[in-house]
Every structure is written in C-alpha cells, then in structure tokens.
Amino acid sequence: MDKAKSMIDKKGASGPFHVNNGQSQRGFHSNGSCCSSNTFGSSTGGSNSSTFENMHHVHRGDDAECNGSPAKRCRLRRRTESLRRSRPPFPWFGMDIGGTLVKLVYFEPVDITAEEEQEEVENLKSIRRYLTSNVAYGKTGVRDVHLELRNLTMCGRTGNLHFIRFPTQAMHHFIQMGRDKNFSSLHTTLCATGGGAYKFENDFRTMADLELLKLDELDCLIRGLLFVDRVSFNGHPEGYYFQNPSDTQSCVKKTCTLDNPFPMLLVNIGSGVSILAVYSENNYKRVTGTSLGGGTFLGLCCLLTGCETFEEALEMASKGDSTNVDKLVKDIYGGDYERFGLQGSAVASSFGHMMSKEKRDSISKEDLARATLVTITNNIGSIARMCAVNEKIERVVFVGNFLRINTVSTKLLAYAMDFWSKGQLRALFLEHEGYFGAVGALMELLKTTEDP
Amino acid sequence: MAEFVRVDSSTSGHTMDKSITLPPDEIFRNLENAKRFAIDIGGSLTKLAYYSTVQHKVAKVRSFDHTTKEATGDNLYEISMQEEVTARLHFIKFENAYIETCLDFVKDHLVNTETKVIKATVDKEDEMTCLIKGCNFVLRNIPHEAFVYAKHADSEFRFQTTQPDIFPYLLVNIGSGVSIVKVESEDKFERIGGSSIGGGTFWGLGALLTKTKRFDELLQLASKGQHTSVDMLVKDIYGGSYGSLGLTGDLIASSFGKSATADKEFSKEDMAKSLLHMISNDIGQLACLYAKLHNLSRVYFGGFFIRGHPGEVQALFLRHEGYLGAIGAFLKGAEEDRSSGLMSVSPEMYPMQRARSGTFDMLEMDRLEGKLVNLPLLQDASSYIPDTVDLTEDAHAREYWLYCFEEALDGVVQRAVASQPDMPEAAERAEKFRQKYRHKLQTLRHQPLVLLFSPSAYGSLTVRSLLDTREHCLNEFNFPDPYSKIKQRENDMALKYYQKAVKCLDELSWEERQYALVRGVLAGNVFDWGAKAVSDVLESDPEFGFEQAKRQLEERPWLVDSYDQWFERLKGPPHKCAMFFVDNSGVDIILGVMPFVRELLSRGTEVVLASNSGPALNDVTNGELQILTESIAAMDPVVQAGLREDRLTLVQSGSSSPCLDLSRLDKVLAMVVRERKTDLVIIEGMGRAIHTNYYAMLSCESLKMAVIKNSWLADRLGGKLFSVVFKYEVPATSQHSAALTPS
C-alpha cells in the first residue's frame, strides 16, 4: 500500500506530473518522427532503450515552430524534407475492429502548404472535410470531439488526431462507403487491428478493392497506449486515478501520467476482457481473460430491461439500486460474517434475491441494470486483483470502451482494488479508454512506410 | 418432541407452488425410528440429515445338528430369514420453499419422542467447519466421490478412488455465492476468497431471463440449449481462431455478447445454457487463480453445476457436493453428543440410495459393520481401479450390458419370488423391485445425458455398479438371498460327488493332476446362475453335469493361457500362503476349488479362502462356506488336518457383491494377508477376475481364472463362449530375482 501510494505522492509533491508539454524538451528532439530509423540512421532494433528514446521523438506541433539557431533550423528542414519523401501518403487512418465497436483514428494535417493544397486530389479533400466537419456519421457513427488531440506532430506533420467509433454491425456500410468514395485510388495502406481485421479482410478486398495491413491487437494496444500517454492529452495528463477510493465522501479523481509505466497489469475491457502483464513496450504476456465483459453487461441489460444501447443501459444503471437484486452478506447472516472478515454490505450472491418471485416482481429495470453493471465490474476487479497478486504487479491499468462514460465502474474498480488488496494495488484509468488499439495501428502505418 | 430452529429464515418464495412431486413418505423414509436431526438452511436450499435405523431381512444359514438326526431330508444346513437392524443416515435436499411443508410432515411422523435435535442448524460460525468436516468425510469414505471432468476427453468424467492422503486441497463451495477455502488438515482451514457469482446468480438471473422458477428446470433448459447463439465467440470476432494467442475459434469471447440487440429473440434454452457456461467458467477461473496463488494442485468443487476449466490445476468434482454441510453438521453434532455412544467420530458408512426428482434429492448411507481397507498386496493402491471397462466411456459396452441386465430381469424376479414360497406378498414386492431396477436401467439407457449432467447421482457406470445396484434393490424389497434354496440344493448335490472326484484326481500322475485340477476349477466355474447363457442351460437341462462342463471347456491353448508358466512354477518350492477369492457355491466351490485347495495344502502351502460377507447371486457366502468346509473335512483328512493345524483359514471379504474391489476389503482379511505373508493371490470367476481386477497389478504372484460365459464378452475379447482365461502373473521384481538365481 505504502509503496504504491508513495510513488504517486512523491510525484505529486515534486510538482506537476510528467506532462510532455514540449517546453522542457525544446530543441532537443524537435520535429522528430514517430519512428526514427531512417532519419537518424539508427537501427530499427526494438531494444528497450531505443524504444524509450523513441518516446520522445514525437511532440506537439508548436515545438516545430519554437526558436532555435538558424543552422539548427536549416538542418531540421533538411530532415523534414527527407522525411517527407518516406512518409506515407494521406489519408492516415488507424482502425481497430472489435466485437462490438469499430474504433477509427484519423490524422487531419493542419500544416498543409498551398502547394500541397493544389496537389491534393479531390476525394482526399472530401474525406477530410467529411470527417472533420461532422461529429456524427450516418445513424451510428460518432466522433468523440472531447478526445481530439490537437496540434500533434506525427511523422513530421502537424495535425489533429480525431477519434471516431461506430458499431461493428455497420462495418459493411463503412466498406461500401470506401468503395463509393473510391478510396482505393488514394493508394493508402489501411492499417487495421482487432478481430475484424481478419474477419472483414476479404470483404475489404472484394467490395472496395482495399488491402488491409493486419496487426495484432495487443501489440497495437500497448503501443498506442504508451504513445498517447507520452504526448499527453492536449497538455493535460492522460491518466487518472481515484484518491480515497474507499470513501465516497472524499473520493476524488486525480490526474497522472504513466511515468515509468512498467511493469503494469493492463486490463482491457471490451466485449470481453484481456489481462496483460506488460514489462516493456515489446515484452508482455496475456495472463488471462474472461468472457464476462462489456458485451455481457450490454447483452444482459438488453435482455433484462429491453434497452438498446450502452448509453441507455448506463443511464438506467446510474439510477438503480443493486441491493434490491443482489443478496448481501447481511441478508444471509443478519450482519457481518466476522469469522471470515466479510462485511454485511458485501455481495454474497449476485442476483441472489431474484430467486424469489416476490422480489422479482418488486424490482425496477434500473435496479437490474445497476446489478448487472456491479456484478460484471466486481468480477473483473476480482480477477484483475488475483492476476496482479499472482504476477506481483502493483499497478493495474484499466482501459477499454466498457469504461466510457461509466464512472460507476471506474469508481467500483478503484474501490475493489484498494479494499481487497488492503491498499496494495492502485487502479489507474486513461482518458482515451478504448482507442489505443486504433492509435497503435496508425503508428504502425507511419512506421512501416519508412522501412526501405 | 423434536424442535427445529432456523438460523437463516430467508425462506424465499412463499408464494411458490408447494406441491411435492414425490410422495413425502418416499423421501422421508424411516422417520419412525429417526433419532437425530441436523438441518442446514442455506440461501436457496435446505438440507436435512437424520439418523435412523432400518429393519431388514437377512438370510442366515445354520448347520443341522446331525447327531440328533433332527434333519429331515438330505439337507446339510437350514436357511432362515432373520430381522437385522442397520443404522442408516438419510440426507434430503429441497428448495427452501418447501420448508414448512416438509417440517410439518416430519413432525407429524416422528413417533419417537426421545428424538433429539443434535444440530438444530448450522450457526454461522460453524458453517464452514461443517462443510470441511463433511468434505473430508466423503473424500475418505465414499468410493468414486471425486471425479475429474475433461471436456474433450473420450470420457468426460473420470472417477477417483478414495485415498487416505487428502490434504492439502482447495475447496470451492458453490452455494448461492461461492466460497473458496484452503484446507490443510482435519481442523485447519481458511477462507481465502470467494465470489458473488454462484448458484444464486444462476437461479436468480436464470429466473429473470427465462421466467422459469425452479432451479432444476433451469438446468433442464440449459441441457437443451445452444450457447453459441447468445455468446460471442472468438470466431464471431475474428472469423476464425486468434492464432497468435492460441485462442480457438470456439472459445467464448463475450458471454451474452450477441444478445445486445433489440431485434432478435433468444430461446430460453440458449440463454440458460449461456448463463450456465458463464457462471461455471467464471468459478473455474477464479478457483484456478486461487489455487495458483496458494500453490495448491488439488481443487475440489462442491456445488450445483460445475464444469472444468482448462489449466494446470486438477479440478475434482464431488458427487455429494450439496450435502457436505449437512453431513458435517451431523458429524459435528455426533461428536459433541457422545453420551449415546451411537456414532463414532468417523463412522464407516456406505452410500446406498440416491434419488432425484424435480424438487427433492436424497441420499441414504448405511453404517458398515467393519472398516474396509486395501488389499496390502496391491502394487499401487492409489492408482488401482477395480473395474475393467468404464461404461461411461464405452457406448457399445454400455448398450450391451444395459440390454443384458434388462433381459435377465424377468429371471431374477422369478427366482426372487420362488425363494420365498411361504410369503404371499413376495410377488408384489418382486414386482416393485422389477419396476425400480428397470427404471434405473432405462434411465441410463435412454438418457445418456443424465450421465453427462448429473454424474453425481450415479457415480461410475460399470458392470459392477449394475450388479451391485441390483443386489441393493433386491435387499431393499426384502429379498436378501433369492438364490439361497438353489445354492443349498447344489451344495448338497456336489458334496455327494466330492469323494469320488478326489479319488479320481489322486489316481492321476502328479503332472496330469495339476492340469486336471485347473480344469476342475474352470469347469466348476461354468456352473453359474449369474451368467445368462449358463442359467438358461441349467434351467432347461438339470442333468448338465460336471463332466459335461469339462467337455464344454475350450481346449488349450486357451484365450489367455499361461498354464505352462504356472506348471513350471509348481515344480519349484511351495508358496508360503495362498489367498483364494472364491466365486460360486455348489459344483464350483466343492468340486472345483476344494480339490485345488487340497493340493496346495498337500504341497505345504497355507490357504486362506475369502468369500462374500453377504449374499450376491449364487456366490458362496462366508457362512455357507464354513458349513461346507466342515462337512468336507469330515470326509477328507487333508482338509481336516488343514483346519486343525490352522493352515486352512476362512475369512470374509467384507463385500456382498458378485465383483471384487480390492481397495475395500474387510480389515481382518488384510491382517491375515500380512500375518501369513501371503505370496499367491488366486481370483476366480468372471465377476472378480474379468469385470474387475483383470488389470489389477499385485506385488506377489497371482492367478486369475475364469470361463467367459457371455458370448458378447467372449466375442469382444476375441474368443468364443466358454473361452478360458488363465492368467498367471509374476510381478516384475520377483521375476528379476528369479532370473538371478541360476547364476
């Protein structure tokens, strides 16, 4: 407990968290590329140290404009020129096709020169306009405007990174749109990860004449996560945790970065759950997983309450009371079960009250939604905690779209980690929850095209 | 008057239908004599335990006093039926909704006002203690209590033999929620974790999703469902497997992942199945994580519905899972209340009955007379499995044997009735027996799914379990020994022929005699009413004689033939002591086995004859064998000297089965084996040497002799009807030392 706490406290005391705001590294790695092998002539080896260095090669766009000696600026320009030649053509996309949602990140360049503007083909322009001027696409596509990373420099270009999601069920519409917009004429590589990259590969090929570059989802997840944490969230830390998670009164959200992120237990809650022990960017293992994930929450909620969307389900859950549905320790023992240190308020049997018809008739849909959410969340917390202890890792990072707009679950996970580990474990969360896989896929695009 | 106290009064579902689907008097049996009660009211189920006594008839044989010539006719001994009282433990489990009805019934039917409630209920401090006590008890005492579930194996369930060394283990107790307990010794245990997703979740969530009220109905639904229509599998996301992680396409990626849609209906069955998978996988996963954390390799699951989880941890399931608490409460109460002296701390019990209905589940256990132990000569007691074929694995064999037992049922019923000519209601009882046993057979035959979904109710399915169940059923309807008269007649007849047979053998050369003795044992073994092919012949042709039987025998080389090795061995020094597990009465024991025994005695080998403690088919019982041996001794000085000098001893096996489980033998037998330094074990007959023990490895020389009296089995073994198995085995180590001696 003390160890984990002191680590963060120390940082808190020493000033701001590690926020990569550019100022401190000005002139150091300005205008770097996300992948430096060609530019700097260094090898593409994936050793820890070089990977770590690469972390600092990406900076906010204003870095490029900051002062420096004329000679230095000249040198930088030359590098930028050479970079440009090996840069992949626009548009830059990264896609993560999950079981329920497709996550799409799109890099919108804002440093387009007049010359470029003229060269830019019409349908590329229309894609850019379509994506950046709308916040909703079709019936189900959504751009998470609040997550947009502005003035980011990637591969020598400055721009905004947009975060878009739509249901996997709409995948065929998306592919059709790719065909209609003659996407294949742009000769871009579409980097995709997630199971759908495999499942829909053939559809992309036959319907839209597009070749996917298929990437491993866990590789992408880790790479994307570390990247976003490094570049920070428009000047603010990407990560956060809850202080005093066991006390509802004084529980507050605090921001933080994943400075010295390793080792970490990474719990990715999508439709299902994967739990990874991550020792470095390239050294990780999948410890376990569970099929009780976000898909289970939504699936059960739809069956139990007739709701149709995640938002609806969460809205109901926020109003419900799970203790009408769950049997607590005190419902069985009249109070605490002292011999085994079980509090009376602990859940003894999820949905246990529902064995009785009277109780079934007396509960609301909101109660059911809440109980479903609490059951799934506690179970994930429990498994994650066991894995953390087994792997001897104190920092548990929860990501995935299940946590989107879901403070009930984030607080519960923080509480569960803290309470059951007696303060030994700390739950951390990241603002871009479910998008890291897609970011990782985009980074792969920028990396691969540089390889000779 | 008995008084019942409840700790957990959360009797959910007062509005639920209170009809009882089985007549209460068939559930709460022997209440008149009930002496002690324990009741364990859990979150959803109530378990009731009581101790009672049952009176049942036993067949006894008594030698006529020949000096007073009271015997009329030619009979050597008389058969009588006596009443015997056995202690029996009853366990009943039912949904909480029936508490009132059940307790009222129990109160109304309690005749014995002395009844004490030894453990009115389990208070919260005691709950876990009771659970562990019960678990330790069943693991030690009930054969095949634990089984391993392997989803993709040929046989999904593999039963474990009882072992004295049970600690440490992880007990995953699945009640409404789940408790995970690390058990280090009889008294030392610790709750190391748990989960709220348990039986109550299955029931509660299941009731909401399917509008099905009852737990058993939910399980029934689940057994018919397809979880793949509700669950999102890896292949639904990937289109195939996720190769780099080794996740197969059929793995569930997201439970209920496909039900997140408004425009599709899902069947109750599919949802119940998906729910069952979700919860059992989750419990399995948590159990594995806890086992890993605490470095435990054995995990026992007790609970409603449980499935294995892949991993390096061996998951073991308990058949009597639901009763652990009640058994433990009962034992604990008995310990605290020693005044009566009725129960020992760890009574030896034998499970007798297990019945299920939609609402009730019951288990009855009878107290055993003596302690049952391993044969000390087993090479590896922990890996010993008595049965040769596991019928849960072998569909063809299962089909045949179930058919065979059903075919033979009419004959068994007839013989049962004939065995009690003076009792007019015998026919009625026999009919009840027929119905009960046939029902059991048909359940196994027509619902192989029963084996899959509740192996707990049946244990392993083997020829032995089918034979033993038949004996139990006969006993239950007061037919303790249907073959008593037939055995008596055959014994009398065979005795008359004994001296002539011995004389014929004595006239042979030594070499010829050894072969003739073996053929005699084998021919004698043809006389067996238990085998259908033979009982047909015997019934149709009473003149079928011993000589005819010898002619019927297969000529050498036999199907399994190590006679030459046996013969070579006989030229060597005599054995110190031979333990002979005998089979049938009549010609078999008197004209086949006794001359063979006589020859061993003449060689200077001590002989111990092990026969059944109680009757089974026409097998000779220890009681009968004592009378027969004395009678032979009167005619034969060799046998007489053997008895007098204590070189011929009779022991009971501890069993009343036509088969033989060498891990559950009377402890006197085991003691004799040790004291006499037994170096030869002879096992005779199909039941003991083929259906069981065919592959049993002993640490001394052994001889397994049997005639295959069943054409299907003969065919399967590659022989024909009346093929001979003569299997003489020498353990590897002594073979080695024998090879060293010449040099």
Write the ipTM. 0.81
pLDDT of residue B65: 60
DSSP B458: T
- Hey, CA dihedral for B274, B275, B276, B282, is it positive or negative? positive
Question: For residue A374, is pLDDT > 60?
Answer: yes
Taking alpha carbons only, the member of A192, A106, A281, A332 closest to residue B122 is A332
B-chain residues within 8 Å CB-CB of A356? 12-13
| Residue ending a domain, choose from B436, B456, B477 | B477
The proportion of chain B whose per-residue pLDDT surpasses 70, expressed as a percent, equals 69
Question: For residue A308, is pLDDT > 70?
Answer: yes
Buried-exposed string B496-522: b where 16+ CB fall within 10 A, e elsewhere: eebeebbeebeeeeeeebbebbbbbbb
Element containing residue B237 per DSSP (H, E): helix B234-238
CB atoms within 10 A of CB B644: 11
CA dihedral B688→B692→B695→B697, nearest 10 degrees, is -60
Three-state DSSP state, B302 = strand
Three-state DSSP state, B441 = helix
H-state helical runs in B70-214 = 99-109, 124-141, 199-210
CB atoms within 10 A of CB A205: 14
State residue A168 phi and psi, 5-degree precision.
Answer: -60, -30
Confirm or reject contact between A333 and chain B (CB < 8 A).
yes
Taking alpha carbons only, the member of B155, B196, B135 closest to residue B308 is B155
pLDDT of residue B532: 54
Q: How far apart are CA A244 and CA A410, in angstroms?
A: 13
Q: Is residue B44 part of a domain?
A: yes
- Hey, CA dihedral for B179, B184, B188, B190, is it positive or negative? negative
Three-state DSSP state, B475 = helix
Question: For residue B541, is pLDDT > 90?
Answer: no
Q: Strands B372-373 and B665-666, how do they pair? A: antiparallel
B-chain residues within 8 Å CB-CB of A346? 196
Contact B177 A299 (CB under 8 A): no
B-chain residues within 8 Å CB-CB of A387? 289
Element containing residue B431 per DSSP (H, E): helix B426-446
- Hey, CA dihedral for A434, A440, A441, A446, is it positive or negative? positive
- Rounded to the nearest angstrom, the gap between the alpha carbon of residue B241 and the centroid of all alpha carbons in its chain is 43
Please tell me whether residues B160 and B289 are part of one structural domain.
yes
Q: Is residue B375 part of a domain?
A: no
Structure confidence at residue B111 as a pLDDT band (50, 70, 90): low
Name residues whose C-beta falls within 8 Å of residue A277's C-beta, 6 or more positions apart in sequence: A263, A264, A265, A266, A284, A285, A287, A387, A391, A393
Q: How far apart are CA B274 and CA B286, in angstroms?
A: 18
CA dihedral B330→B332→B335→B340, nearest 10 degrees, is -30
Please tell me whether residues B111 and B204 are part of one structural domain.
no
| Residue ending a domain, choose from B319, B349, B384 | B319
Structure confidence at residue B711 as a pLDDT band (50, 70, 90): confident
The beta-strand segments (E) located in A281-344 are 283-290, 327-328
Structure confidence at residue B24 as a pLDDT band (50, 70, 90): low
Which phi-psi region, left, alpha or beta, contains residue B38 (left: φ > 0; alpha: ψ -120 to 50)?
A: beta
Tell me the shortest Cα–Cα distance from B27 to chain A, in angstroms: 24
Structure confidence at residue B163 as a pLDDT band (50, 70, 90): low
Structure confidence at residue A415 as a pLDDT band (50, 70, 90): very high
Taking alpha carbons only, the member of A415, A52, A90, A46 closest to residue A229 is A52
- State mean pLDDT over B206-212: 94
Question: For residue A377, is pLDDT > 80?
Answer: yes
Structure confidence at residue A73 as a pLDDT band (50, 70, 90): low
pLDDT of residue B28: 67
Which range is most confident: B26-35, B52-61, B267-276?
A: B267-276
- State mean pLDDT over B62-77: 63
| For testing contact with chain A, the best of B94, B125, B196 (most A CBs within 10 A) | B196
Q: How far apart are CA A351 and CA B196, in angstroms?
A: 9
Q: Which CATH number covers residue B656?
A: 3.40.50.10880
- Hey, CA dihedral for B151, B154, B157, B162, is it positive or negative? negative
- Hey, CA dihedral for B676, B681, B687, B692, is it positive or negative? positive
Taking alpha carbons only, the member of A184, A185, A224, A223 closest to residue A205 is A184
Please tell me whether residues B452 and B579 are part of one structural domain.
no
Tell me the shortest Cα–Cα distance from A268 to chain B, in angstroms: 13
Q: Is residue B9 part of a domain?
A: no
Contact A303 B125 (CB under 8 A): no
Instruction: State both tokens at B333.
Output: 């109460």
- State mean pLDDT over B353-369: 53
Tell me the shortest Cα–Cα distance from A190 to chain B, in angstroms: 17
Contact B197 A350 (CB under 8 A): yes
Instruction: State both tokens at B48.
Output: 């009731």
Three-state DSSP state, B364 = strand
Q: Is residue B11 part of a domain?
A: no
B64 vs B644 pLDDT, higher one: B644
Confirm or reject contact between B266 and chain A (CB < 8 A).
yes
Confirm or reject contact between B282 and chain A (CB < 8 A).
yes
pLDDT of residue B512: 95
Please tell me whether residues B491 and B581 are part of one structural domain.
yes
Contact A302 B14 (CB under 8 A): no
Closest by Cβ to B257, choosing from A198, A218, A299: A299
Please tell me whether residues B545 and B414 are part of one structural domain.
no
Q: If you search the block for the tokens 């010829």, which residue do you land on?
A: B512
- State mean pLDDT over A81-95: 77
- State mean pLDDT over B637-653: 95
Q: Is residue B261 part of a domain?
A: no
pLDDT of residue B140: 66
Please tell me whether residues B463 and B493 are part of one structural domain.
no
The proportion of chain B whose per-residue pLDDT surpasses 90, expressed as a percent, equals 30
Q: How far apart are CA B362 and CA B306, in angstroms?
A: 19
Q: How far apart are CA B46 and CA B347, in angstroms?
A: 24
Q: Return the domain boundaries, chain A.
A: 84-230+437-448, 239-320+364-430, 326-362
- State mean pLDDT over B420-433: 89
Question: For residue B737, is pLDDT > 60?
Answer: no
B-chain residues within 8 Å CB-CB of A382? 195, 286
- Annotation: CATH topology of A84-230+437-448: Nucleotidyltransferase; domain 5 (3.30.420)
pLDDT of residue B720: 87
Please tell me whether residues B534 and B678 are part of one structural domain.
yes
B-chain residues within 8 Å CB-CB of A196? 237-238
Query: What DSSP string runs through A87-139?
Result: SPPSPEEEEEE-SSEEEEEEEEES---HHHHHHS-HHHHHHHHHHHH-SEETT
Q: Are B300 and B318 in contact (CB under 8 A)?
A: yes
The amino acid present at B627, given as its one-letter code, is: I
CA dihedral B338→B340→B342→B344, nearest 10 degrees, is 10
- State mean pLDDT over B118-142: 63
Domain count, chain B: 4
- Hey, CA dihedral for B392, B395, B398, B403, is it positive or negative? positive
Please tell me whether residues B111 and B194 are part of one structural domain.
no
Q: How far apart are CA B471 and CA B416, in angstroms?
A: 11
Question: For residue B339, is pLDDT > 50?
Answer: no
Instruction: State both tokens at A387.
Output: 């894995």
Three-state DSSP state, A241 = strand
Structure confidence at residue B22 as a pLDDT band (50, 70, 90): very low
Range of the domain at B273: 143-230+266-319
Q: Look at A159-168, A311-320, B189-198, B217-226 and tell me which has the smallest mean pLDDT.
A: B217-226
Question: For residue B112, is pLDDT > 60?
Answer: no
Structure confidence at residue B480 as a pLDDT band (50, 70, 90): confident
CB atoms within 10 A of CB B633: 17
Confirm or reject contact between B307 and chain A (CB < 8 A).
no
H-state helical runs in A112-263 = 114-119, 122-133, 171-180, 195-199, 201-208, 217-231
B284 vs A240 pLDDT, higher one: A240
Three-state DSSP state, B342 = coil
Q: How far apart are CA B417 and CA B512, in angstroms?
A: 45
| Terminal alpha carbon distance of chain B | 80
Q: Is residue B292 part of a domain?
A: yes
- pLDDT tens profile B487-515: 888 888 888 889 988 999 999 999 999 99
- pLDDT tens profile A139-159: 899 999 999 999 999 988 999
The amino acid present at B388, given as its one-letter code, is: T
| For testing contact with chain B, the best of A355, A356, A412 (most B CBs within 10 A) | A355
Closest by Cβ to A356, choosing from B12, B244, B257: B12
pLDDT of residue A81: 52
Please tell me whether residues B511 and B616 are part of one structural domain.
yes
Task: Indicate the average pLDDT of chain B.
Answer: 76
pLDDT of residue B155: 36
Three-state DSSP state, B46 = strand
Q: Are A100 and A298 in contact (CB under 8 A)?
A: yes
> Which CATH code fits A239-320+364-430?
3.30.420.40
Name residues whose C-beta falls within 8 Å of residue A240's C-beta, 6 or more positions apart in sequence: A253, A254, A255, A256, A428, A429, A430, A431
Structure confidence at residue A115 as a pLDDT band (50, 70, 90): confident
- Rounded to the nearest angstrom, the gap between the alpha carbon of residue B523 and the centroid of all alpha carbons in its chain is 30
Q: Which CATH number covers residue B207?
A: 3.30.420.40
Contact A99 B213 (CB under 8 A): no
| Predicted structure pTM score | 0.63
Closest by Cβ to A99, choosing from B253, B261, B271: B253
Confirm or reject contact between A216 and chain B (CB < 8 A).
yes
Structure confidence at residue B384 as a pLDDT band (50, 70, 90): confident
Q: How far apart are CA B284 and CA B151, in angstroms?
A: 13
Closest by Cβ to B258, choosing from A299, A353, A379: A299
B-chain residues within 8 Å CB-CB of A347? 177, 196
pLDDT of residue A42: 36
Confirm or reject contact between A167 and chain B (CB < 8 A).
no
Please tell me whether residues B410 and B509 are part of one structural domain.
no
DSSP A9: H
Q: Is residue B515 part of a domain?
A: yes
Which residues of A are part of the catalytic machinery? 217
Please tell me whether residues B547 and B637 are part of one structural domain.
yes
Please tell me whether residues B659 and B718 are part of one structural domain.
yes
Contact B238 A198 (CB under 8 A): yes
Q: Are B84 and B60 in contact (CB under 8 A)?
A: no
Q: How far apart are CA B143 and CA B734, in angstroms?
A: 31
CA angle A44, A46, A49 (to 5 degrees): 105
Closest by Cβ to B124, choosing from A333, A354, A355: A333
Q: Strands B77-95 and B360-367, how do they pair? A: antiparallel
DSSP B548: H
Structure confidence at residue A52 as a pLDDT band (50, 70, 90): very low
Q: Is residue B734 part of a domain?
A: no
Q: Look at B13-27, B545-559, B630-644 and tell me which has the smallest mean pLDDT.
A: B13-27
- pLDDT tens profile A278-298: 999 999 999 999 999 999 999
| For testing contact with chain A, the best of B216, B229, B256 (most A CBs within 10 A) | B256
Taking only residues 114 to 173 of chain B, the set having a beta carbon closer than 8 angstroms to any beta carbon of chain A reads: 124-125, 128
Chains A and B: how many Cβ contacts under 8 Å? Answer: 215
Q: Look at A218-222, B15-19, B446-450 and tell me which has the smallest mean pLDDT.
A: B15-19
